[in-house]
Copies of this chain bind each other. A is one copy, B any other.
């Protein structure tokens, strides 16, 4: 699978799910602890340094909502969102539904948020208490300057709380929450750490988290409540996806074996280069400029030829065993191919061969159209 998750996982990750454990079983409670400290470690922090890991059932969006809905105060809280795609926009939808006061800077899908803009806005508007952005915009594959933004915020307004949705970047692109001034970092089991879906997590600055008690707008998605629950007896408040957690522990182990985030990023970058070069050779160009393109997922415009039908293209590729992802742009028809998951160079050559074969079968002419 060449998707941004659920993605191809290793056989041992799946095999780890062949056991049923009770949610209060000591063996399972040990898994929770291992996972929590492993995740903090990946973010360059630890409990000793004042950071906590909160695991949340559901998809990544559930964890993002649990942060936004739980940490922005009901009174006098205001969230500035920096968006350049669907995932930043989703944060805005959350604020609208939960009646959270917010401000919104929208860049185009081909741009990335600018640290100086964030600094200027929070300097102008002192009522802003929180700032949120996306680390890697899966909409396009853009890598946003989340460190720069965090540092600029610290210089401009050290009292502002910085929230980062690092869904499809965490575990590949290195992060140091402390150095990057990140109070809440959210990601999911089934992205760069290569686990199966079922839960997501928020890494939290403990002092900040503790100060949010009682602010949650949901019982299930109460971030502080979820933390406090596990803190009190080591157990989830509500039934956890035990099998996903078992798979994830194995995934974390494989992540370490590969050399941590840097080792994983090296493989993803090698995958990406093969993909980019091979697609370019066929006439497909990356939608984004090289300077902001990440190694996680790549957006290509679809061929101009009227014979190209995405559904047919997708289905034929899928029949060959290469599952790709539709595009998510509003302004142009596009397709996306991921380079994450248990994928290696041979897999990237396989998807390239498959794309070429399907285009031939469909008699589609290249090159694809160029963006203005």
On A, residues with C-beta under 8 Å from B are 1, 3, 5-9, 14-15, 17-26, 57-62, 65, 69, 90, 93-94, 97-98, 188, 190, 196-198, 216-222, 236-244, 247, 315, 318, 323, 325-326
Contact = CB atoms under 8 A, between A and B. Distances in A.
Q: How many copies does the complex hold?
A: 2
Nearest to A218: B218
Contacts of A24: 3, 323, 325-326
Contact of A221 (B188, B220, B241): B220
Given A97-B218, A98-B217, A217-B97, A323 B198 contact: no
Nearest to A61: B238
A221 B236 CA distance: 19
Contacts of A7: 20
Given A14-B20, A60-B238, A197-B198, 4 more contacts: A58-B62, A97-B217, A190-B239, A220-B221
Contacts of A198: 197-198, 241, 243-244
29 contacts: A3-B22, A6-B20, A6-B240, A14-B17, A14-B20, A14-B243, A22-B325, A24-B326, A25-B318, A25-B323, A26-B315, A26-B318, A57-B57, A57-B62, A59-B239, A60-B238, A61-B237, A62-B238, A65-B220, A97-B218, A98-B219, A196-B241, A197-B239, A198-B198, A198-B243, A217-B217, A218-B218, A218-B221, A243-B243
Contacts of A93: 219
Q: Which of the listed residues A1, A61, A239 has the most CB atoms from chain B within 10 Å of its own CB?
A: A239
Label chain A's interface by main secondary structure. loop
A35 B194 CA distance: 26
Contacts of A247: 243
A173 to B, nearest CB: 20
A77 B57 CA distance: 28
Contacts of A3: 22-24
A273 B216 CA distance: 43
A69 B218 contact: yes
B98 A218 contact: yes
Nearest to A342: B20
A353 to B, nearest CB: 19
B218 A217 contact: yes
A97 B218 CA distance: 6
B243 A17 contact: yes
A139 to B, nearest CB: 14
Given A93-B219, A219-B93, A20 B9 contact: yes
A237 to B, nearest CB: 8
A240 B9 contact: no
Contacts of A238: 58-62
A239 B188 CA distance: 10
A238 B3 CA distance: 14
A101 to B, nearest CB: 16
A97 B216 contact: yes
